[in-house]
Amino acid sequence: MSNSKIISKSITFITGNPHKVKEARGILNNLGITLEHADIGYPEIQGDLEDVARYGAQYAVRRLGKPVIVEDAGLFIKALKWFPGTYSSYVQETLSNQGILKLMSDVEDRYAEFRSVVGYCTPKTEPEVFLGIVKGRIGYKEKGKYGFAYDPLFIPEDYCESFGELQTDVKNRFSHRRKSLEKFALWYKDQK
């Protein structure tokens, strides 16, 4: 993507996760979008990732009164009926990666997807949402020291290494978050 049309306005990224901020800045800065950061939180409603991102963006824009993005992501494992899905953060805190490995101990079909949805909203617009997906599989043990959360378990399609084994700059080239943020950035540039 060309940087010939640099967008100078900044957008506030609403998250309590410093890893996401670093990853998002690394992606969006290269696309000409400057991110501010605010950790104001937002209620996570019941629903799919799109519903959560849409609601979170609306909630945050009402609190801050300026353009915001939120990002909600999850690990979706086919053999577990797409669990943990929208409960990924909670499951990470309670079961951790070892709990997922235990649930998968006798499972042959290890197909999984990492999904990310960015929600964008301004005080004068309805929210827009952007989905990014990376297909892959769940490994048999945790591997790697990079990334966070489920990264050491998830092996992306066409790779032998887990996200946890890939350095951040490599992961950022094709991650689910990159895909959703890039879709957002392309759309955003077209609006300008």
Better-predicted residue by pLDDT, 181 or 44: 181
pLDDT at residue number 169? 82
Better-predicted residue by pLDDT, 66 or 47: 66
| SS3 call for 27 | helix
Residue 36 identity: E
Q: Indicate which CATH number applies to the domain containing 32.
A: 3.90.950.10
CA dist 94 and 176 (Å) reads 23
CB 13 within 8 A of CB 37: yes
Catalytic annotation, residues: 72
Which pLDDT band holds residue 147 (cuts at 50, 70, 90)? confident
Whether 4 is covered by a domain: the verdict is no
Whether 3 is covered by a domain: the verdict is no
Whether 82 is covered by a domain: the verdict is yes
Whether 1 is covered by a domain: the verdict is no
What domain count does the chain have? 1
Average pLDDT, the chain: 90
pLDDT at residue number 138? 98
Domain enclosing residue 184, as ranges = 10-191
pLDDT tens column, 102-137: 999 999 999 999 999 999 999 999 999 999 999 999
Residue 143 has pLDDT above 90, yes or no: yes
CA dist 182 and 179 (Å) reads 5
Report the DSSP pairing between strands 34-38 and 10-14: parallel
pLDDT tens column, 159-177: 999 999 998 888 888 999 9
Whether 5 is covered by a domain: the verdict is no
User: Which residues are within 8 A (CB) of 191 and not within 5 positions of it... i.e. 6 or more apart?
Assistant: none
Please report which residue ranges of the chain form alpha helices under DSSP H: 18-28, 49-64, 88-94, 96-103, 168-171, 176-191
Whether 84 is covered by a domain: the verdict is yes
pLDDT at residue number 108? 96
Whether 2 is covered by a domain: the verdict is no
Q: Reduced to 3 DSSP states, what percent helix, strand and coil does the chain have, rounded to the nearest 5? A: 40, 25, 35
pLDDT tens column, 25-43: 888 887 788 899 999 988 8
Whether 135 is covered by a domain: the verdict is yes
Better-predicted residue by pLDDT, 2 or 157: 157
